[in-house]
Structure 1
Amino acid sequence: MFGSLAKKIFGSVNDRRLKSYRPKVAAINAMEAELEALSDDQLRARTEEFKAQVAAGKSLDDILVPAFATVREAAKRTLGQRHFDVQLIGGMVLHEGAISEMRTGEGKTLVATLPVYLNALSGKGVHVVTVNDYLAKRDSEWMGQIYRFLGLTVGVIVHGLDDAERAAAYNADITYGTNNEYGFDYLRDNMKYEMAQMVQRGHNFAIVDEVDSILVDEARTPLIISGPLDDRSDLYNAVDLVIPRLDKSDYDLDEKQRAVSLTEAGNEKIEDLLRNAGLLKEGDLYDAQNATLVHHMNQALRAHTLFQRDKDYIVRNGEVVIIDEFTGRMMPGRRYSEGLHQALEAKERVQVQPENQTLASITFQNYFRLYNKLGGMTGTAATEADEFLEIYNLEVLEIPTNRPVARIDEDDEVYRTADEKYKGIIREIEAASGRGQPILVGTTSIEKSEHLAELLVKDGFTLIDFENPQALEPLYKAAREGKGTKHFAVLNARFHEQEAFIVAQAGVPGAITIATNMAGRGTDIQLGGNAKMRIERELAGLEGDERAAKEKEILAEIATFKERALNGGGLYVLGTERHESRRIDNQLRGRSGRQGDPGRSKFYLSLQDDLMRIFGSDRMDGMLSKLGLKEDEAIIHPWINKAIERAQAKVEARNFDIRKNILKYDNVMNDQRKVVFEQRKEFMAEESVRETIDDMRHGVVEDVVARAIPEHAYAEQWDAEGLKANVANFLNLDLPIEEWVKEEGIADDEIRERIVKAADESYAQRVEANSAEVMTYVEKQVLLQSLDHLWREHLVTLDHLRQVIGWRGYAQRDPLNEYKSEAFELFNNLVGHLREQVTGQLMRIQVVFQQPEPASLPPMFAQHLDPATGENELDMPQGGGLGAGPALGFTAASAASAPIEARDPNNPSSWGRVGRNEPCPCGSGKKFKHCHGQFVA
């Protein structure tokens, strides 16, 4: 009570913050007349003045008012657009490192130019993050006019660029790109072998467009760079034939958690089926030797029970293509990982592609927290404000609209069955189109959009074919006559190529557009239609007076259409069901009521919808029956809206917990990642790593002596034989250690010093034999390659640890603390192994001067993984670009092969040339390439 009273008197926190920006807005407006009087060159010269002021010690806050005023004037001259006062406030919020929540149509793209220009003056670079390549290109060209006019450089990062092009884009004052490209470039940079090959130059300031989509929705899926493993397509196909023979009673399906598991009876049945198919050759299904088979069986079961064709994926040109659950777009090239995509390919009887192994990984949370300052903008962030503050330390401020919102948001209509709901929707579509009101029908999946399209066709409607240039003529004719139309368009992943034009014409009076999710479309629905898109499409090839006359006709017609659409009530957004996230519903609603236009929104629900069915529709069904709800009747009440919002809030809270849990575990890996990546940079930046190599060699000596001669042990307890073997193994030295330990009064320090001296002398001879210059280069390459190899193995081990650590909870131990402890121990082991392997390699190395083979790396893929749900996406293959390997051939063998019987396991110098796939002569049982030849390049 007191809180609401105080809010009425003093205003909310949001209101008070907005009020604090007003003096700066007034100051910017006061400069407008002065700047209008400047010539273009004089206005452009202000950029150098600002840079000089920043270099002289002024803060960016000190020059905010004149810089914002300069950008506004530049926008007027280049784009013909003037920033509204509320847009200036939005720009200030972004500059302060917070989130500007601005309604659709309020010009967020233009708002970003203010803080981007101001922060680019520091010379440290500004990154603008968009949701797709199209928007990155469009915005860099469109808003780039302002920056270039003011003398700043603009770059754009999209898929398919080589390293030189990426480096040039990152070196620009302002860089546009997608969240995936920025993240993958960071990972690839930390796999390079020379500083000059790295493309990013730091993380100063980033503005994230559609910040909720990128930092919340997509943050559930870490970025992963991976490489291919062996082909196991036969096993996937064989297992897939078994799964359809299971009954629903053989497994437990949890749609809330998107999880499925076999029942006890199902386990017995699947074992018999696998044995009969010849796949389970020995033991029980869950014996250790059958772990791979269990993994394939689980993924095949998930593919058949949790993933639906035309909802989660589609099959196109013999490929399984993922559908983005948030935008409804196809994502060609992306793949689920952990073998799930292969299981779907086997299910759909298309060619099964090989699996992949993780090479590098990072979550969006940890990538974007690398930036010194981060800002974001979206139309829907308030529902996730707690998450933004807790994870990213980002406040959310709601920016008022330039004009009051005139949209009417009506209460939901709830029907008992889906059939009744769709009948009601079709009736409403006909009524809205008949009064000249454009209508946007929102669905949650391709399957449902196509089902509604089929129902409309049965009811006498016609689907518009946008490939036909004349396809829109019936729609325009009906709009000219002020009548309704029986023509409709479908906007989903199947019509991705025509997306922008479909959206652009969805505001024509009476137009009917069915859309699968509307997040991040990047094209506003303008009442009357989009003049620019119509002119480009209809007047292609026309020139001169004829084109000018036609343009005039189109502009006049669009003005008439807009008037009719306004009279019809503006854009009508009709949702066919509620999404599990309120933000997605708000994004759909936000398409209507742009810049003060009238509009209307309403959701049609049934008790058979996924959200209603999963979250307790039985109770509501009983209540509606008691109320005497008849067929084709709907119930409309604000209480139902509140109940649905509570269900949505529960789902959002669960998803937040999932993301928080992922982040807690990834933070452990992130601390280690920072250490490894920083260490790599230090190694690459140094002229010579000789000192590090010497320290590693001495560390190995410390370790082997400590293992063989424990502290306070008597001489007879020393392991002289083991010490000699380790010295031969790691240092390639044959030393008379048994003789040393027999010497009267010798101490472990003396033995340690003798080994160090022998090792240093041996290495000095090797350096002299191969030349100091060459060895300086080789040392750095061996060190970096060894570190990379061990880090990749470490990632795989941590991933496996993550999958099983949860079981520690049954022993009353906290899995997260257990994970931290085990990960720390594994990292210490990595450091020890690095010392041993680098030392072992360099103590055997001989440089062979020959023409090197062209350095090439295995194919790599940029992958988007969700470890919580297993719905993991894989981006397009990343060819090359990771930097070439060493230019010299170097090997740990002598010039000629030695007879096997002449090889002494403890004396590598007797081995001669050993084949890469031969058993290692040391007797370990491993192949040479996995043992003493492990780091051969």
Structure 2
Amino acid sequence: MLSLDSLGNFASKIFGSSNERRVRGYRSRVEAINAMEPEVAKLTDDELRARTEDFRRQYREGTPLDKLLVPAFATVREGAKRALGQRHFDVQLIGGMVLHEGNIAEMKTGEGKTLVATLAVYLNAIAGEGVHVVTVNDYLASRDAEWMGRVYRFLGLTVGNIVHGLDDDERKAAYACDVTYATNNELGFDYLRDNMKLRKDDMVQRGHFFAIVDEVDSILIDEARTPLIISGPLEDRADLYMAVDKHIPKLTPEHYELDEKQRQVALNDEGNEFMEKVLAEAELLKGSLYDIENVTLVHHVNQALKAHKLFQRDKDYIVKGGEVVIIDEFTGRMMPGRRYSEGLHQALEAKENVEIQPENQTLASITFQNYFRLYDKLAGMTGTALTEASEFMDIYGLDVIDIPTNLKISRIDDDDEIYRTQKEKLAAIVTTIADCSRRGQPILVGTTSIEKSEQLSELLKDRKFLTELGRSLLSQAERLKDAKEGKTSAESELKAYFNDIGQHLVDLGSAKSKDEPIPHQVLNARYHEQEASIIAQAGVPGAVTIATNMAGRGTDIQLGGNVEYRLRDWIAAETEAGNAPDDAAIAKKRAEIQADVDVKKKIALESGGLYVLATERHESRRIDNQLRGRSGRQGDPGRSKFYLALDDDLMRIFGSNRMDGVLKSLGLQEGEAITHPWMNKSLEMAQKKVEARNFDIRKQILKYDDVMNDQRKVIFDQRKDIMAEEDVSETVQELRNQVLNDLVSRFIPEQAYAEQWNTVGLREAVQAIFGIDQPVDEWANEEGIANDEIFERLQKAVDEKSAAKVAEIGPETYRQIEKMVLLQTLDHLWREHLITLEHLRQVIGFRAYGQRDPLNEYKSEAFVLFESMLSRLREATTGQLMHVELGAPGEELADLEMPELPEMHAHHVDASTGFDELSDELAMADAAIAGRGRGGPAPEKRAPIQTRKAAGAFDPADPATWGKVSRNAPCPCGSGKKYKHCHGTYE
């Protein structure tokens, strides 16, 4: 009897898979585009460009973009032929259709995803609402904006490029273009910063119409695990830290549960009761410790408890010069300048009784999941998305379509080789690298971390290691039997191989040359342009390239080398030497380089094409496929193989101990590996389990983020509405009436008798908030008076006070003050709300012990906190406006300086390393290489101040030595003012 799987496979053979059927559905439009090609090819450049305006006219008249797809794609294909000398393949047209529909196009490496995007970008740019093309780093954003920008500009579109270091005016101009290239970080931070601006004219983004995300799996899955955060200095809370710290030493071991292995500590029931008692006596606590309004206090207690019970002086940190300095747990070195987050460092400072430095506060944050879901239409492209198809559909509503390759893939994917130990695995890897280098076969070696890349690099330089490895292989060859005369065998071939490569390694190890025994390149993840140049030449015969993560490099490995990159480097070198080449010299050099590359490509092809060697399996199949896919570009031959050891992370987690025993019993000798398709299958099953677990974690995190996101949307929409209005007096009046209504309801409940009214309390509250003294307690003695009448009398008095304020200050001035106060109060309370939500999220998990769902509890309490924040907004705004005074009689608002945005720092933690990828050094490095095109040298960039100080080039008296200075940073001249209020005013 046939199983369901068998029936499914049988049906697929007859009807094709669902993916194949979808791809076939695009073929008719591909044929229609091809049919238009002769007609479009006859047009002059001006006639071709005029089609853009014609498409826009049709769109304005009601023609949907889908109806314009065929002629628009035909126009882009012709534009690319003329501007770039590149013609879209038929499969690339299909990729463009998938992107236009708002889906993910999975296209193998070398299939031209960058060119594919131009099709959907051009079609959607016709709408005039701005199309965003998202890349993973500044270098790719700049490169693609210049490279593909030739096509767009040729067809009459404008192109912008957002990179690190641009000011608001430059960003606004870039976003106003038809097509805008930017990194995911820049887009997200601009969105957050826009929603902190005080004037709508200062906002740089104009909406979220359509975005195409390059390397979509890297951005929407890998980088989406941690949010983008903008932080700034928090108000001083030193007194609270010190007050809480005094009570922690009173705790005994019976008050808390300590798990040193997991580095966790928490109060138990007895400890909670004790802390409630001592904090209440110290007048720090009202009610229960775990009442919702005490969330922040609970957070401080927990951090103080960690500081005292988990962190040891002179082991985890030291006190030096009156500061708490972290000690790195791996190296034992001091880490000055690094601080623990979430108030833990302040808790340690309180414990050691040193000066408490202000902590940073989250001013705004958003996850990539929630940012990219703002777009009306979202699409993506990558070489590896199918393994995460369910997540893309579940989280983003994106379907993944596998686009066929232009030429059939001829790469050979060998079965994994599994060794018992790391030592044996590394020996096998070095042997294979040496063999490829010797035969002239380019090899790309993928590692899972920078440390492992450097470890492998050191082995390739270690002559002693190479000599010992070579002698080991020679001795293995001696143990192998020769084939019988006149016959061949696998054993004799292996013996010959061991002899050849063994002798080669011995020769490399004993060479006296100063050159590296095995020349190689190790990719540095910080400098994206250098990476691209290295990758571009990784297909040269005998090239050895070691890389950590091959996602998002944006550059193909072309066998023989990359003509364009070599030509660009030559032009840059000649120009720097003062010999800028003319067009004729460039054409001559291009021909020379092309001829050299053709010869080298032939050698690389004969040696078997690019060999991709992976030193470990990643926990995600997708990352493995990204590396493997670098070989076999555009039908080229190639080979890939994974080398594993039983003590690799993935192998160790999934029961390598049992496997080690099996291999020993089978008599596996040192240096021997086990290879079988079944092993590959079992490893893939293990990877699927890890992928499913990681997806569940990301999905759970997103559920919590969605709670904050819903509130963020409400606040940001309200801010936009306020900024868009010239006059917010009606809004302010509604807030004022609501505050008054709430006060009356609180002190004079509807169902209460007159003798139960708290009229004294109401009188005091009205005086405190509105600044008016009304005889409410006397009114209450009047016969038959009701709470409605009291409200009306108070409302009349409040309105009169407000009208008097308007007359005193001036209507125009007062309207602007209303707007400023409303926005500033909203921002202040929203930031406090974010901190409270962060603290709530950290402790909400304990609700599970009470058999309550933490997520539902979080939703419920977050809503209560939000309502409380809105109530405080009404009260605080009304109170400030009723008491506002100008500094001097007749002072105009024009003389009052508009409030500045707080000092801001951007953060995005790399989920795989835990490091903040937006540290000053990385940001400046990215800025220094941003904007470099393919055809010439980079524009001159100044180094950051820190770098120039270290180099001795910094001079406080010479602004030319200062480098790039943030407008809100202290002025380098030493005046103590912000740069924009000092030397920055001259710019």
Question: Which residue is 2:487 aligned to?
Answer: none
Deviation at 1:728, TM superposition (A): 0.8
Question: Is residue 2:871 matched to residue 1:860?
Answer: no
Question: Is residue 2:98 matched to residue 1:93?
Answer: yes
Which of 12, 19, 22 is the aligned partner of 1:14? 19
Question: Which residue is 1:433 aligned to?
Answer: 437
Deviation at 1:519, TM superposition (A): 1.0
Any idea what the Cα deviations from partners look like across 1:647-683, whole Å, max 9, x if unmatched?
2112211211111111111111111111111111111
What is the TM-score of this pair, normalised by structure 2? 0.76
Structure 1 CA distance, aligned partners of 2:91 and 2:146? 24
Distance 1:168 1:802, change over 3 A: same
Structure 2 CA distance, aligned partners of 1:124 and 1:288? 45
Any idea what the Cα deviations from partners look like across 1:238-277, whole Å, max 9, x if unmatched?
x9xxxxxxxxxx9665xxxxx643699xxx9xxxxxxxxx
Any idea what the Cα deviations from partners look like across 1:779-833, whole Å, max 9, x if unmatched?
0111111111111111111111111111111111111111111111111111111
CA contact (8 A) 1:131 1:178 kept: yes
Question: Is residue 2:8 matched to residue 1:3?
Answer: yes
Distance 1:869 1:138, change over 3 A: closer
Which of 371, 389, 394 is the aligned partner of 2:393? 389
**Following superposition of structure 1 onto structure 2, how do residues 368-767 of structure 1 map, counting pairs within 5 Å?**
368-459=372-463, 486-493=518-525, 498-538=530-570, 540-541=573-574, 543=581, 551-767=590-806
Q: Structure 2: which 5+ residue stretches go unaligned?
A: 1-5, 246-257, 272-296, 318-325, 350-355, 467-515, 925-964, 969-987
Any idea what the Cα deviations from partners look like across 1:893-913, whole Å, max 9, x if unmatched?
xxxxxxxxxxxxxxxxxxxxx
CA contact (8 A) 1:461 1:486 kept: no
Structure 1 CA distance, aligned partners of 2:439 and 2:347? 50
Structure 2 CA distance, aligned partners of 1:26 and 1:314? 66
Question: Which residue is 2:165 aligned to?
Answer: 160
Question: Which residue is 1:840 aligned to?
Answer: 879
Structure 2 CA distance, aligned partners of 1:375 and 1:775? 47
Structure 1 CA distance, aligned partners of 2:798 and 2:266? 61
What is the TM-score of this pair, normalised by structure 1? 0.80
CA contact (8 A) 1:485 1:511 kept: no
SS at match of 1:517: coil
Question: Is residue 2:208 matched to residue 1:203?
Answer: yes
Aligned residue pairs total 804
Structure 2 CA distance, aligned partners of 1:50 and 1:79? 22
Distance 1:782 1:550, change over 3 A: closer
Question: Which residue is 1:480 aligned to?
Answer: none
Structure 2 CA distance, aligned partners of 1:301 and 1:422? 39
Distance 1:287 1:50, change over 3 A: closer
Moved more, 850-859 or 869-878: 869-878
Which of 225, 230, 233 is the aligned partner of 1:225? 230
Q: Structure 1: which 5+ residue stretches go unaligned?
A: 240-249, 254-258, 269-285, 321-334, 346-351, 463-483, 883-937
**Following superposition of structure 1 onto structure 2, how do residues 234-249 of structure 1 map, counting pairs within 5 Å?**
none
Question: Is residue 2:806 matched to residue 1:803?
Answer: no
Any idea what the Cα deviations from partners look like across 1:269-307, whole Å, max 9, x if unmatched?
xxxxxxxxxxxxxxxxx99875433455799799979xx
Any idea what the Cα deviations from partners look like across 1:860-881, whole Å, max 9, x if unmatched?
0122258999876655599989
Structure 2 CA distance, aligned partners of 1:457 and 1:353? 46
Structure 1 CA distance, aligned partners of 2:327 and 2:649? 17
CA contact (8 A) 2:747 2:761 kept: yes
Read off the aligned partner of 1:489 and give its amino acid letter: Q
Read off the aligned partner of 2:264 and give its amino acid letter: S
Read off the aligned partner of 1:387 and give its amino acid letter: E
Structure 2 CA distance, aligned partners of 1:690 and 1:313? 61
Deviation at 1:142, TM superposition (A): 0.3
Question: Which residue is 1:887 aligned to?
Answer: none
The RMSD of aligned alpha carbons is 3.6
Structure 2 CA distance, aligned partners of 1:176 and 1:313? 41
Deviation at 1:693, TM superposition (A): 1.0
SS at match of 2:520: strand
Question: Which residue is 1:768 aligned to?
Answer: 807
Deviation at 1:60, TM superposition (A): 0.4
Distance 1:8 1:49, change over 3 A: same
Deviation at 1:143, TM superposition (A): 0.3
Question: Which residue is 1:924 aligned to?
Answer: none
Any idea what the Cα deviations from partners look like across 1:14-62, whole Å, max 9, x if unmatched?
0000000000000000111111111100100100111111111100000
Question: Is residue 2:306 matched to residue 1:292?
Answer: no
Structure 2 CA distance, aligned partners of 1:160 and 1:299? 41
Read off the aligned partner of 1:608 and give its amino acid letter: D
Structure 2 CA distance, aligned partners of 1:354 and 1:626? 61
Deviation at 1:555, TM superposition (A): 2.4
Distance 1:134 1:301, change over 3 A: farther
Structure 1 CA distance, aligned partners of 2:328 and 2:85? 43
Which of 353, 360, 365 is the aligned partner of 2:364? 360
Structure 1 CA distance, aligned partners of 2:611 and 2:881? 72
Distance 1:696 1:487, change over 3 A: same
SS at match of 1:292: helix
CA contact (8 A) 2:265 2:306 kept: no
Deviation at 1:317, TM superposition (A): 12
Which of 831, 837, 853 is the aligned partner of 2:870? 831
SS at match of 2:29: helix
CA contact (8 A) 1:337 1:873 kept: no
Any idea what the Cα deviations from partners look like across 1:309-355, whole Å, max 9, x if unmatched?
999999999887xxxxxxxxxxxxxx99547999999xxxxxx9974
Structure 2 CA distance, aligned partners of 1:693 and 1:412? 69
Read off the aligned partner of 1:592 and give its amino acid letter: S
Deviation at 1:144, TM superposition (A): 0.4
Structure 2 CA distance, aligned partners of 1:743 and 1:8? 91
The percent of aligned pairs where both chains have the same amino acid is 63
Read off the aligned partner of 1:402 and give its amino acid letter: N
Structure 2 CA distance, aligned partners of 1:532 and 1:314? 47
CA contact (8 A) 1:865 1:871 kept: yes
Which of 56, 59, 67 is the aligned partner of 2:61? 56
CA contact (8 A) 1:342 1:353 kept: yes
Distance 1:313 1:866, change over 3 A: farther
CA contact (8 A) 2:307 2:348 kept: no
SS at match of 1:493: coil
Read off the aligned partner of 1:859 and give its amino acid letter: E
CA contact (8 A) 2:605 2:637 kept: yes
Any idea what the Cα deviations from partners look like across 1:688-747, whole Å, max 9, x if unmatched?
111111111111111111111112211111111111111111111111112111112211
Read off the aligned partner of 1:129 and give its amino acid letter: V
Read off the aligned partner of 1:517 and give its amino acid letter: N
CA contact (8 A) 2:223 2:911 kept: no
Distance 1:156 1:70, change over 3 A: same
SS at match of 2:639: strand
CA contact (8 A) 1:577 1:604 kept: yes
CA contact (8 A) 1:865 1:872 kept: yes
Distance 1:494 1:449, change over 3 A: farther
Moved more, 379-388 or 828-837: 828-837
CA contact (8 A) 2:164 2:186 kept: yes
Any idea what the Cα deviations from partners look like across 1:56-105, whole Å, max 9, x if unmatched?
11000001000000000000000000000000000000000000000011
